[in-house]
Amino acid sequence: VIQAVFFGICVLTDLSSLLTKGNDSQEQERQLKKLISLRDWVMAVLAFPVGVFVVTMFWSIYIYDRELVYPKLLDNFIPAWLNHGMHTTVLPFVLIEMRTTHHQYPSRSCGLAAVCTFAVGYILWVCWIHHVTGVWVYPLLEHLSPGVKVIFFAAVTVVINVFYLVGEVLNNYIWDTPK
């Protein structure tokens, strides 16, 4: 969903840029700048770190024991192409986007705070679903004791923050913008 929303914003930004080209309307220019800022923020804080995290975590766990993250039973409901659409294609598309479009990253403290807020919010949502249904969305969590879950969730939050920093460094390297 994050990737679909992000790339939707990218298309909207590109269309708006094309439609306002050569137009002297300061209001349209101001709105376009807001849209570009939103696109850059979503890329920096959500699309890149969450996208890289999903691909690396999903396939690492899948290779170790697919039942912990994507039970064979799901093959009956979710075709392989859709699984790859959710857990594979995210990485090449987000890397292509980073290479073809310069993104202005927020200040490091604001970016990391936003990534942490998202990670904690998502973890709380996963715990809430378990609280309401009695089922963990990710089967891996069934196998962890409460203390290990806390450590796991903390480690996940650290890893996603590291991916934010990797994205910032990679963006600055590609576009030769020192930070």
Q: What is the spatial distance between Cα 136 and Cα 59, in angstroms, rounded to a whole number? A: 19
Q: Which of 88, 96, 95 has the alpha carbon at shortest distance from 60?
A: 88
Q: 155: pLDDT confidence band, cut at 50, 70 and 90?
A: very high
High-pLDDT (> 70) share of the chain, %:
99
Number of structural domains found in the chain: 1
Q: What is the spatial distance between Cα 36 and Cα 101, in angstroms, rounded to a whole number? A: 11
Instruction: Encode pLDDT of 80-136 as tens digits.
Output: 999 998 899 999 999 999 999 999 999 999 999 999 999 999 999 999 999 999 999
Q: Which of 106, 123, 132, 107 has the alpha carbon at shortest distance from 160?
A: 123
Domain with 158, as residue range(s), is: 1-175
pLDDT at 27 over 70: yes
pLDDT at 179 over 70: no
Q: Which of 102, 101, 98, 78 has the alpha carbon at shortest distance from 90?
A: 98
CA 50 to chain centre: 3
pLDDT at 57 over 80: yes
Is the pTM higher than 0.85? yes
